[in-house]
Amino acid sequence: MDTKYITIDGKSLTIKSSMEIVQKNLKIRLSADAVKKINLSRKLVEKWINENVPVYGITTGFGEFKDVMISKEDTEQLQKNLILSHSAGVGAYIPDIIVRLMLLFRINSLAKGYSGVRLELLEFMIDFFNSGIVPLVPSQGSVGCSGDLAPLSHLALVMIGEGMCKYDGEVMSGAEGLELAGLKPISLKAKEGLALTNGTQMMSAYLCKSIYDAENLSKLADLSAAFSVEALMCTDKAFAEVIQMLRPHNGQIQTARNLRKILAKSDIMKSHKHCGKVQDSYSIRCVPQVHGAVKDTIAYCKKILETEINSTTDNPLIIPEKNDHFEGGNFHGEPLALIADFLAIAVSELASVAERRVFRLVDGSLSGLPRFLTKHGGLNSGLMIAQYTAAAIVSENKVLCHPASVDSVPTSANQEDHNSMGSIASRKCYDVINNVKKVIAIEFLTASQGLDFLKPLKPGIGVYEGYKLIRSKLDFMEKDRIVGNDIAKTMEVIFDENFLQKVESATGKLY
């Protein structure tokens, strides 16, 4: 890997490398092989234009206007009109990091060399990306077929000197942003407006961030569950390897292994080894089975998405090897719509089961701890309402997890008669995962308070390391204070990238 530039070749991006590029503002460049492929497909496009061959979106109109021939003289206007007319998005703007991923994935798709665009367009897009300009892209308007047309059109608007953007954190017109970045608006040639807007990059971008976060959240959920195991004085017998090997799902095996590592050398566990308690509730005993199923779902979704971000998803496709063009449906978002719904449903379960553990922690009759984890109940409510918040979020997620992919509304005079609604699914998934983060933080907060009541007994090595980090920023709640602030501070601690690293320095790598 070059120390200054990440090479884009249309086939090598991963979720991890993509997130690293946008989070660290790394610069990109095209591979030599990509340059060759781009030039080959463009030669064919130029040939068909000169010969007035009817090719969808190149010498014809779009959608229902597929049979309307466009003269060579009107080609550039056709492409600009496409961007202007398709910029019909509404609603809140897409987060900057998602917009950056959209642009990166569009560049990577075009770099495969099957879209028929000029090398000049890709070079401009790379300069645009490297400049740090972030177009303002409304989040609503895509039905997840013919690609994410409206969002990608708003992305392209700024490239032609229209629309709005951010540059150095300031909101301004697209024309002004280009000027400050030292760039001139690009004039789109044949096929290029279509190539910029016809793809699944909005869905892919939301899912990239969601899967990346979900992998991290999955490990954090194992750790927060272990906090509860200790605070509730539960047994670790259900996490024994022999049990998992009799039902050897990968995620289940990984989760149980994580728990054993995190709970190793626990004084709390030793203190009640012969207490006579036979078994714990499902929310404790079945952590490997529940969290493990989520891990397996994340792994499946990751495989699908990493195929997608290295694919060509526009139409028509220009195939130099066959000296031909093919009108197809690679823009259809069904693969992403389904995994977005699946991922949302799966990750929501991390919050659902965590909230049940939080409930047990604050109910003194179940936990054996002071009611609502406060020394002076009555005068103080303690962490009573933290559980309400977790319950509210879990309930909200139940609504958000209703699948979008089961719906379809026809568009373009029934030419586009089945749509994936993948953009809706991916946005909901992103919201679900952000909600789950809050519930996991509440479990860390309540379980840490519970652990304080068990002192001087020390928890397992992973729990203890995480507990120390939380307590370095957040004191034991001796009396009532603003609980929302405590939840926010807990989130700051646990979602700091150093948090899991420090825990893993004690436990070894978690999965």
Q: What is the mean pLDDT of residues 196-212?
A: 97
Say how far apart CA 82 and CA 76 lie, in whole Å.
Answer: 10
- Please tell me the distance from the alpha carbon of residue 378 to that of residue 480, in angstroms, as a whole number: 11
Q: Taking residues 89-98, report their average pLDDT.
A: 98
- Answering whether pTM is above 0.85, one says yes
3-class DSSP assignment, residue 170: strand
N- to C-terminal Cα separation, the chain: 26
SS3 46: helix
Residues with Cβ within 8 Å of 251's Cβ and at least 6 positions away in sequence, in order, are 291, 292, 293, 294, 295, 296, 297, 299
* pLDDT value at residue 419: 86
- Asked if residue 270 lies in contact with residue 458, where contact means CB atoms within 8 angstroms, the answer is no
Residue 3 has pLDDT above 60, yes or no: no
pLDDT in tens, 15-28: 999 999 999 999 99
φ, ψ at 57 (rounded to 5°): 75, -5
pLDDT in tens, 119-140: 999 999 999 999 999 999 999 9
Q: What is the pLDDT of residues 251-310, one digit of tens each?
A: 999 999 999 999 999 999 999 887 777 799 999 999 999 999 999 999 999 999 999 999
User: Tens of pLDDT along 369-420?
Assistant: 999 999 999 999 999 999 999 999 999 999 999 999 999 888 888 888 888 9
220 residue type, one letter: L
Residue 311: both structure tokens together: 């694919």
Cα 497 to Cα 500: distance, rounded to the nearest angstrom:
7
Structure tokens at 498: 């150093």
How distant is the alpha carbon of residue 25 from its chain centre?
A: 18
CA distance 50 to 40: 16
How confident is the model at residue 2, as a pLDDT?
A: 45
Residue 414 Rama label (left phi>0; alpha psi -120 to 50; beta):
left
Check: CB of residue 313 under 8 Å from CB of residue 109.
yes
Q: What is the pLDDT of residue 64?
A: 67
pLDDT in tens, 62-80: 766 767 777 877 888 889 9
The reported pLDDT for the residue numbered 1 is 44
Q: List, by residue number, the catalytic residues.
A: 56
Residue corresponding to tokens 């950056």: 100
- Ramachandran region of residue 413, left (φ > 0), alpha (ψ -120 to 50) or beta? left
